[in-house]
Amino acid sequence: MNFCSQGNYDNMTNPNEPDIVAFCCHYSAYAWSQDLQNLPRLGFPENVRLEILPCSGRISIIRLLKAFEQGADGIYVAGCKDDTCHNVRGSRIAKKRVDYVKNVFDQLNIEPERIEMFMISREPNRGFIEAAKEMTMRIKKLGPSPLKGK
Amino acid sequence: MIVGQRKPIQEIIGMLKGIKNILILGCGGCATVCSAGGEKEVEILASIIRIDRKKKGGPVETKEKTLARQCDTEYLEELKDEVDKYDAVLSMACGVGVNFLADMYPKTIILPALNTSFMGVSEEQGVWSERCAGCGNCVLDKTGGLCPVARCSKHLLNGPCGGSQNGRCEINPDIACVWQLIYDRLKGLNQLEKLQEIFPMKDWSSSLHGGPRKIVREDLTL
């Protein structure tokens, strides 16, 4: 399992797999955070690099943009379900910031699907793993970031 | 404060065509308060410009800086030793800052990243609205502190017009009829008699109609 040190999103993963940076709130990742090293065994794609935030609402637009600028093929934020966010509206705030970056990508003729917000139940379930798998499949279809090789 | 918003990204990218070394200059005054051109927004715009250039395979150097204000000589002077290093300065201040930069650095290309919108207030997080039109001849003592010049769609001084419906403006139902607000406020203050006074024709020469304005305070000049 790979972790980003804050602000450093240089690829450390297999170059043949899409490089995906995931910003996950402590609560939606909590069920797995006790045993993160075992995630690959449970089907969590190894190409997804995790950054755990105290709350998804802590994500900033610039961190999302910099992750992309520094080489990520895809980015996602995983937070609590809208109505059960531990910090009341953290995941709603995170979604607005993801939407802002989607709009920026659209204006730059970059596929907005390269960034996504997932709202995941805080109860132990596979949503945390499924979001990573869905994003990996999506980015595989889209191909490498248009910034690669430029 | 002066409220502005960032121009569409493609418009900014268009004006930076062929420019390789850019100073993106934020303003710590109103542009920061209205979340349009402060330190945070400078960082975001610089990243967007770099992403665009990287995608197109074009080189770009971006320097990010935010001055306390861009409407005072003392802060703009901070640039005097470095401004020649850049192909252009992209100002994230209001139009005042852009103008003053251009006045002060005649050999440097100065570009605006914001559209300056109005003088207004922050109603709630993320919502701003106009309150003053800067007409240069304030009538607020007669209208309960609410401005018909800035807040009436027709700038009527003897309102309301016939289009005031249920307290809303006929031009834009999203906004309140300011003459209804004036009436309600003066009634609450027991000052309805103020509405008996008819405003004469307004002298607009103190507004933009009189040309660019200037104030000289002899008590302050050195």
Q: What is the pLDDT of residues B166-186, one digit of tens each?
A: 999 999 999 999 999 999 999
Chain A residues with CB under 8 Å of B43 CB are 62
Q: Any chain B CB within 8 A of the CB of A9? A: no
Chain A residue with Cα closest to B14: A108
Average pLDDT of the residues in A80-87:
88
CB A52 within 8 Å of CB B34: no
**pLDDT at residue A28 in the model:** 81
pLDDT digits (tens, 9 = 90+) for B115-133: 999 999 999 999 999 999 9
Q: Which residues span the domain enclosing B52?
A: 2-118
Q: Is the pLDDT of residue A88 over 60?
A: yes
Q: How far is A119 from chain B (nearest CA, A)?
A: 23
What are the residue boundaries of the structural domains of chain A, listed by start? 18-142
Residue B219: inside a domain? no
3-state secondary structure A60-114: CHHHHHHHHHCCCCEEEEEEECHHHCCCCCHHHHHHHHHHHHHHHHHHCCCCHHH
For B23-35, what is the mean pLDDT?
A: 98
Whether B54 sits inside 8 A of A147 (CB atoms) is yes
Neighbouring CB atoms inside 10 A of B161's CB total 15
Q: Strand B2-6 to strand B114-124: parallel, antiparallel, or no bridges (unpaired)?
A: antiparallel
* Whether residue B9 is found in the same domain as residue B61: yes
- Closest-CA distance of chain B to residue A116, Å: 18
User: Does one domain contain both B52 and B140?
Assistant: no
Predicted local distance difference test score (pLDDT) of residue B221: 96
Using an 8 Å CB-CB cutoff, list chain A residues near B57: 150
CATH of domain A18-142: 3.40.50
Residue B164 lies in a domain: yes
Chain pair A-B, CB pairs under 8 angstroms = 37
Tell whether B12 and B61 lie within a shared domain: yes
Q: Are residues B112 and B145 both part of a single domain?
A: no
ipTM beyond cut 0.85: yes
pLDDT attached to residue A121: 87
**CATH number where B45 lies:** 3.40.50.2300
pLDDT score of A8 more than 70? no
Q: Is the preceding omega at residue A54 within 30 degrees of 0, hence cis?
A: no
Mark yes or no for CB contact A69/B55 under 8 Å. Answer: no
Report residue A5's pLDDT band, with 50, 70 and 90 as the boundaries.
very low
Q: Which residues of A touch B38 (CB under 8 A)?
A: none
pLDDT of residue A149: 76
Q: Mean of the pLDDT values across residues B16-33?
A: 98
B30 & B73 share domain: yes
Give the model's pLDDT for residue A84: 87
Give yes or no for residue A7 having a pLDDT over 90. Answer: no
B43 against A88, higher pLDDT:
B43
In a domain, B222, yes or no: no
- Is residue B217 one of the residues assigned to a domain? no
**Interface residue B52 vs chain A (CB under 8 A):** yes
Interface contact B55-A62, CB threshold 8 A? no
